[in-house]
Structure 1
Amino acid sequence: MPSRLPCAFQLVRYVPDPVRNEFVHIGVLLREEGGQLNLRFTRDWRRVRCLDPDADTAMLEGMETELRRRLQEDLARPEAQRKFTRILDESLSLGVQITEPKAYLAESLPAGMEELMKMYVDPPKRERVSRLSGRAAIQSAMRDEFERAQVWSLMRKQIRAAEYTRPGDPLRIDAGYRPNGMIRMFHAVSLEPGVEMAKVLAFSSASLRTGVERIEKAKLELTAIVEPAAQLGIKAGESEESAERLELYRFGIETMEEHQIRVLTTTDLPNVAATARRELRLD
């Protein structure tokens, strides 16, 4: 029987309310003793949304990308293994925690990661699929189409507006990429709860555009992805309430368009993803 690798693993938890201390495991950090380190988050956020329907899963995905980048950078240095815990402590938000290391014997690092993810993180297939709504549904649709076009891994996620506007700006744009001297950014904007999200993006668009031109020396095309009106049950002329909701829906779209934001619906995502694939030269 081949000898197993001595490793240590830690579980990454999502804890929306530290007082109640309810949590869901969302990832695994696996480190070979004196060797490689592997980090993986779940790709199925059903458990997170059951615990917290308002969870920003795109932010969590962006956190994984940032952690991977920072850990890989430091692993190239001799003192990397001594510093990896500090890097995690700096990167994890208040809503995300990491457990203490536990010893683990793995056949290999990839095999060990698969086993630990199945044991602690990924939900069994028999669980009921939760219905997504609002911004989470749009984000999920965006990711599905970009992954189908095989460009998701090539895109930036959770782009901090503060990099281009000013310190303290909390806005994070969901995803983007840079083709041929310009930058395209995409942000999920749900008009289901109202027009507040549309107004926030409209308010930020001018300074974001100016900052991109100044720092990246490139033009910015900012696209908001919204739900089709029919998906929200809005039908013209059906009732006075429906007419008011339609007016509000149109107001949200027009507000963004007035600020030079391109507005598309989730039904346009296949074409958007196909364009990204072509511009990133995968065809």
Structure 2
Amino acid sequence: MNERRQCEFFLVRYVPDPVKNEFVNIGVLLREAARPESTIVRFTRDWARVRCVDPDADTEMLEALESEMRRRFTERGSDLPPMMKTLEDSFSNLLQITEAKACLAETIPAEIEQLMQLYVEPRKRAGAKRWTGRQAIQRTMRTQFEHAGVWDLMQKRIAAAPYTRAGDPLKLDCGYRPNGVIRMFHAVSLDGDSELAKSLAFSAPALRDGVARVERALLELTAIVEPIATLQEDEDRIVQYRFGVEAMEAQEIRVLTTERLPYIAETAQRELRV
């Protein structure tokens, strides 16, 4: 039997109304006891509970904070006092970190997963929600990039407007720039609906021209889609799927399924020299 490690964990709480003292646990910090440099940061991927208590919550900022906290612990070995100051400065007491609680961990990854299910995402234990469509693709994409250690190095929710025209609402999920090319990735579900595929195909030429003009770089735009096998021989859905793929490929968008994400993440890992 593996010897368990002495660890401690902290909960990150979103507190929209300090007067009422209502809060939602949104993340976990886990580390080996007395070793701040070993801290692992994990935030929720499901912001539904946060939006229930605060419909105007800036979840994009919360996701960015997760990446910033992880970077600080990894690169600087920061401890909690300076991290608390960062939270206070950025969120005006909307976030709190609890006191440390002791735990014994067989492995750090397994322990943080268990803590997330226990304190942050309890619905997972009951299997209450199965992610589908674009949201499922986004989560799979993020997971693979995180496993490769490149997620925090990538730009997220990349606005198309600076490259196309003012008012363009399109935001690409993520991307990075190795040398003279910019690689952008966007989750596109083709399960019974090709509208997003058509919209991305329509935007691609202007986006490509804009990247060349503004960044002096080539754009490689990749749409990540579910495998066609998931459509279970439904002829109408298969026709829609193929239409969406062809519409994107006609505009030089590379179309890859989620099954190719490990390869994509490995390439990013190599190009970003992680």
TM-score (norm 2): 0.64
Question: Paired residue for 1:266?
Answer: 258
Looking at structure 2, the residues matched to 183 and 140 of structure 1 have their Cα atoms a distance apart, in angstroms, of 22
Q: How does 1:69-80 map to 2 (within 5 A)?
A: none
Looking at structure 2, the residues matched to 134 and 225 of structure 1 have their Cα atoms a distance apart, in angstroms, of 11
Evaluate the alpha carbon distance shift between residue 86 and residue 256 of structure 1 in structure 2; reply closer, same or farther with a 3 A threshold. same
- Would the aligned equivalents of 1:165 and 1:208 in 2 still touch at CA under 8 Å? yes
Identity over aligned residues, as a percent?
47
Question: Paired residue for 2:217?
Answer: 218
Looking at structure 2, the residues matched to 104 and 150 of structure 1 have their Cα atoms a distance apart, in angstroms, of 27
Is 2:267 the counterpart of 1:275? yes
- Candidates 122, 125, 128, aligned match of 1:127: 125
Q: Secondary structure at the match of 1:163?
A: coil
Instruction: State the Cα distance separating 1:61 from its structure 2 match.
Output: 4.9
Q: How big is the alpha-carbon RMSD for the aligned residues of Structure 1 and Structure 2?
A: 4.1
- Would the aligned equivalents of 1:13 and 1:26 in 2 still touch at CA under 8 Å? no
- Would the aligned equivalents of 2:211 and 2:219 in 1 still touch at CA under 8 Å? yes
Evaluate the alpha carbon distance shift between residue 243 and residue 86 of structure 1 in structure 2; reply closer, same or farther with a 3 A threshold. same
Looking at structure 1, the residues matched to 194 and 49 of structure 2 have their Cα atoms a distance apart, in angstroms, of 23
Evaluate the alpha carbon distance shift between residue 25 and residue 256 of structure 1 in structure 2; reply closer, same or farther with a 3 A threshold. same
Looking at structure 1, the residues matched to 221 and 120 of structure 2 have their Cα atoms a distance apart, in angstroms, of 34
Is 2:248 the counterpart of 1:256? yes
Is 2:40 the counterpart of 1:48? no
Number of residue pairs the alignment of both structures matches: 219
Query: Which segments of structure 1 move beyond 6 Å, counting only runs of 4 or more?
Result: 49-52, 66-69, 81-86, 101-107
Structure 2: tracts of 5 or more residues without a match: 1-10, 17-22, 29-40, 73-83, 102-111
Question: Paired residue for 2:104?
Answer: none
Q: How does 1:158-237 map to 2 (within 5 A)?
A: 158-233=157-232, 235=233
Instruction: State the Cα distance separating 1:260 from its structure 2 match.
Output: 1.0
- Would the aligned equivalents of 1:226 and 1:263 in 2 still touch at CA under 8 Å? yes
Instruction: State the Cα distance separating 1:229 from its structure 2 match.
Output: 1.0
Question: Paired residue for 2:106?
Answer: none
For residues 99-131 of structure 1, what are the alpha-carbon distances to aligned partners after superposition, in whole Å with 9 as ceiling and x for unaligned? 5x8897779xxxxxx9xx97x961348722321
Looking at structure 1, the residues matched to 178 and 254 of structure 2 have their Cα atoms a distance apart, in angstroms, of 17
TM-score (norm 1): 0.62
- Candidates 6, 12, 34, aligned match of 2:14: 12
